[in-house]
Amino acid sequence: MERPAWAPRSIDITVPSVSRMYDYYLGGSHNFEVDREAARRAMEFMPGLPKVMQANRAFLRRAVRFAVGEGVTQFLDIGSGIPTFGNVHEVAQAAAPGARVVYVDHDPVAVAHSEAVLEGTEGTGVVAGDLRKPRDVLASSEVGRLIDLNRPVALLLVAVLHFVEDADDPYAAVAELREALAPGSMLILTHASYEGIPLPPERAGGAVDVYKDIRNPLIMRSRDEIARFFEGYDMVEPGLVPMPRWRPDTAPEGEDPYERSGLAGVGRTA
């Protein structure tokens, strides 16, 4: 297999990557046949997966604009994946030219590609880091350079927590990040759930198994389990809802049933 210029030497391009599969669902070009194959296997069970990802990205953009409108112009995006069109810094800096964004991911592909995409872009940085080690993320030089932790920060955990198993205690990691951020900070979150998927759980479970097979278990949590991540935050209206229902720009017409898979919410600390 030909290795494209953007793929770092250190990565095994014969193993599917979650961030490249996500890129494929969104119609991006930073994926390999091995990723497309895994994504197509998952889509055999859940054909609407690209719709889920698109709804996820659309929510992300609305939430970033909302944060800027509330005066928050610093963004820490953990589990950021490959920055495709309409990413956090583009949306934030269009709304507030001085906005600062740090992208964090533990996938070397996502990190290498982010660095290439962001080269020369003011107010942005990339960290090779893991949500499960919040202290290391917060102590990184890029966070130190770009983020003032004494001022409110929008913490983005978009489509990432469902890849953290309970054994790794994602609740403790999210709480540790909350404690480190100034009052008035925000949590912007989406999470996969069987709730809302227009399929029986056994069928949707087939797609979940594909992720298990590529050693990236997808943890489907209930509404109550997802709501627990917002402990210590006041929920912003309309609360924890299907992604297209969170402050839509227009009335949802002819909504694809798959777009309602998974939940999204924004919380703010007092």
Task: Please indicate, yes or no, if residue 53 is contained in any of the structural domains.
Answer: yes
- What is the residue range of 243's domain? 18-268
Closest CA to 191 of 158, 167, 169: 158
CA distance 100 to 98: 6
For 173, counting Cβ atoms within 10 Å of its Cβ (0-12 exposed, 13-18 middle, 19+ buried), the class is: buried
pLDDT per residue over 117-155, tens digit each?
898 999 999 999 999 999 999 999 999 999 999 999 999
Task: Please indicate, yes or no, if residue 172 is contained in any of the structural domains.
Answer: yes
Task: Please indicate, yes or no, if residue 3 is contained in any of the structural domains.
Answer: no
Greater model confidence, 252 or 260: 260
Task: Please indicate, yes or no, if residue 57 is contained in any of the structural domains.
Answer: yes
Using the predicted structure, report yes or no on whether residue 9 has a pLDDT greater than 90: no
What average pLDDT does the chain have? 93
CB atoms within 10 A of CB 183: 9
Residue 3: its pLDDT value, please?
A: 76
Residue 243: its pLDDT value, please?
A: 95
Task: Please indicate, yes or no, if residue 12 is contained in any of the structural domains.
Answer: no
Q: What is the pTM of this model?
A: 0.94
The domain total for the chain is: 1
Q: Among 16-20, 36-40, 113-117, whose mean pLDDT is lowest? A: 113-117
Task: Please indicate, yes or no, if residue 101 is contained in any of the structural domains.
Answer: yes
- The pairing of beta strand 100-105 with beta strand 241-242: unpaired
Task: Please indicate, yes or no, if residue 13 is contained in any of the structural domains.
Answer: no
Using the predicted structure, report yes or no on whether residue 53 has a pLDDT greater than 80: yes
Q: What Cα–Cα distance (Å) separates residue 53 from each residue in 19, 80, 90, 158, 239?
A: 11, 13, 18, 11, 20
Which pLDDT band holds residue 209 (cuts at 50, 70, 90)?
A: very high
Domain containing residue 62: CATH number: 3.40.50.150
Using the predicted structure, report yes or no on whether residue 252 has a pLDDT greater than 70: no
Task: Please indicate, yes or no, if residue 11 is contained in any of the structural domains.
Answer: no
